[in-house]
A and B are shown apart, each in its own frame.
Chain A
Amino acid sequence: MKINLKIWRQKNKDTKGSFKSYALDNVSTDMSFLEMLDVLNHDLIHKGEESVAFDHDCREGICGMCSLYINGRPHGPQQTTTCQLHMRSFKDGETIVIEPWRAKAFPVIRDLVVDRTAFDRIQQAGGYVSVNTGGVPDANEIAISKKIADEAFDSAACIGCGACVAACKNASAMLFVSAKVSQLALLPQGKPERKERVEKMVAQMDAEDFGACTNTGACEAECPKGISLTNIARMNREYFSAITTSYEIELKGGD
C-alpha cells in the first residue's frame, strides 16, 4: 500500500521545527508502524537525508520507550503502544500525521524524541518503599488479600510512556503519578511512608509544570496498559488526607 507521511522535524530543542511530507510506496500491511518508519529512514539515508529520530526499544509493548502522536492520538488509532500498532490499521493512500508528545514538561530533543526525565524525577521524589537490601521479613510473613494484590498490580502495570500526558488536553501527569501512589498505598509494605510519599510526588509533579486533571478521561482511554481513573481518585483522597493530617517531628540528635 501507499501512504503519505507528515512528520515533525526539529533539529534540537533550541531550534524551531516544522512538518515535512514524505511518501512511501511499498508499505506492507504486516509491518509494524515503527518498521514503516525504519523503511522511511532507510530510503532517506539512501537519498542523503538525515533519518527521522524516534524513541523505541523493546518493540513488544512493555518498555514504554516508544511514543508518537499519530493522527491526533497518542500511540495512534488503537489502544496499544506504537510498536504494537500495525500498518493494517491504516488505509491505502492515507495521510498520516506524526507529532512528538507535546507538553511543557516533555521538551522535544530532536524530531519525534522528547525528554521524559520529569517522570523519573517524580518517581525519585517518593515512588519507593524505603527498605535497604537485606534484612527484610520473609515474603510470606504478611498476607495480602488477592484482590488488593491484583489491584496493586493493575496500577503497577504502568509503563511510563507518557501517553496520558500527551492525550490530556491539560498535559496532566496525574494518571502516571497516581498509578505509583496507588500501588504503594494499597500494599501494606507502602503504608509507613504513605503520607510523605503522596505529598512529595504531587509537589514534584507540580514543580515539573504538568497541568491539573479535569477528569476528562482521555488518559484512561489512551493508556496502552488500561490504567484506570480510579487511581487518580485514590491519589486525590490520599493527598487530602495526608496534607491535612501529616506533621513533622523535629529531631534533636544526640544518639
Chain B
Amino acid sequence: MNWFTSLLTSTLGRKMIMALTGLFLVLFLVIHLIGNLQLLKSDGGNAFNVYAQFMGHNPLIQTVSIGNFAFILIHAIWALLLTLHNRRSRGEVGYAVSNNSSAWMSRSMGILGTLILIFLIVHLQGFWFQMKFGNVPFVTVDGKDVKDLYTVVDAAYQNIGFVALYVFSMCALGFHLWHGFASAFQTLGLNHLKYNPIIRFVGRAYAIIVPALFAIIPIWMYLN
C-alpha cells in the first residue's frame, strides 16, 4: 500500500475525512444561513429571490455546490463505514449492561446524522429540486426575471407540520454540531491547551446560534 491509500484506509485517515468534510459543511451552513436570513426582510421576498437566483447561476457557486453534495455523500458514507467497522470491533457479544459515561450527543452522532440526512432529502426535494426542475413562477426584481422561490418557501412554511419538522431537524443539527465542531478539530490534531477552550466555546456557540437562526425563520414566517 502506498502512503496515500494507507492514510485513507487507516482508522485515523477515515476520521480525518469525516472531520474535513464536516468542517466544510460547517462553512457551507454559514453561507446558506446568510441567504436564508434574507427571508426575514420585509420586501416581499425580493432580496431572497435575488440571492436564490445568484446561487443557482453563478458558475463558481455551482462548482462548489457539486463539491458540497459530494461532501455530504462522503460524510454520510464514511460515517456508515466507520460505524460498521466500530460495531465489529466490539466483537460478537456485547455488554448486557452499559452505563456509558460520555455525553449523549457524542454517542449518538450516527442517529443525529441520519435524522439530518432524512431532513436534507425532504428539504432538497421541497426547495432545491423545485428551484432546479420544478415549475416555479417568475417575478421581476430590478428589471430582471427571477424565479419566485420566496412564494414557494412562504407557502411551505404555512404548514405547521413542515415547520415542526424544520425545528426538530435543527435541534438534531444543533446536537450534531455541539459534538462535531470541536471533535473535528480534535481529529485533525488541532488541539492546544491554550486554544481548546476557544475552540470549544466557538463550537458550542455555533451549534446553538446557527441552528437557532435557521429554525427561527420558519417560525417567524408561520406566525406572520
- How far does the alpha carbon of A196 sit from the alpha carbon of B28 in the complex, in Å? 37
Decide if the interface of chain A is mainly helix, strand, loop or mixed: mixed
Query: Of B46-54, B151-159, B185-193, which stretch is located at the interface?
Result: B185-193
Once the chains are docked, how many angstroms separate the CA of A103 from the CA of B85? 12
Alpha-carbon distance A196/B86, docked complex (angstroms): 26
CB of B59 closer than 8 Å to a CB of A: no
Task: Tell me how many residues of A have a C-beta within 8 Å of chain B.
Answer: 50
Chain B positions within 8 Å of A, measured between CB atoms, are 3, 6-7, 10-16, 82, 85-86, 88-103, 106-107, 109, 179, 182-183, 185-191, 193, 196
Is A230's CB within 8 Å of the partner chain B?
A: yes
**Taking the nearest CB of chain B, how far is it from the CB of A226, in angstroms?**
13
- Asked if A211 contacts B11 (CB within 8 A), the reply is yes
Minimal beta-carbon separation of A109 from chain B (angstroms) = 13
Q: A213 contacts B11, CB within 8 Å? A: yes
Tell me whether A102 and B86 are in contact (CB under 8 A).
no
Instruction: In the A-B complex, list the 7 residue pairs whose CB atoms are closest, starting with the nearest.
Output: A237-B189, A233-B191, A211-B89, A72-B99, A170-B86, A216-B102, A212-B11
Interface assignment of A218: CB less than 8 Å from any CB of chain B: yes
Interface centre among B89, B97, B106 (most CB of A within 10 A): B89
Q: Are B101 and A218 in contact (CB under 8 A)?
A: yes
Report how far A89 CA is from B53 CA in the complex, Å: 65
Q: Are B100 and A167 in contact (CB under 8 A)?
A: yes
| Contact between A17 and B93, CB atoms less than 8 A apart | yes
Given A102-B95, A210-B89, A211-B90, also A233-B12 (CB < 8 A): no
Residue of A nearest to B92 (CB): A104
- In the complex, which residue of chain A has the Cβ closest to the Cβ of B94? A102
A238: Cβ under 8 A from any B Cβ: yes
| A230 proximity list for chain B (CB < 8 A) | 191, 193, 196
Contact of B16 with A233 in the complex, beta carbons under 8 Å: no
Nearest CB on B from A78, distance (A): 11
**B189 and A240 contact, CB distance less than 8 A:** yes
Whether A218 lies near B179 (C-beta < 8 A) is no
A149 to B: closest C-beta gap in Å = 16
Q: Which residues of chain A come closer than 8 Å to B7, judged between CB atoms?
A: 240, 243-244
Complex: how many Å from CA A174 to CA B186? 13
Considering the chains assembled together, what is the distance between the CA atoms of A243 and B191 in angstroms?
19
In whole angstroms, what is the CA distance A121 to B103 when docked?
Answer: 31
Are A233 and B186 closer than 8 Å at their CB atoms?
A: yes
Against B, the Cβ 8 Å flags (1 = close, 0 = not) of A220-242 are 01100000011011111111100
B89–A217 touching, CB < 8 Å: no
User: Which chain A residues lie closer than 8 Å to B13 at the CB level?
Assistant: 243
A203-B6, A209-B88, A211-B89 known; A169-B15 Cβ under 8 A: no
Q: Which B residues are CB-close (under 8 A) to A211?
A: 11, 85-86, 88-90
- The one of B6, B10, B92, B99 that contacts A71, using a Cβ cutoff of 8 Å: B99
For residue A152, CB closer than 8 A to chain B, the reply is: no
The closest CB in chain A to the CB of B15 belongs to: A212
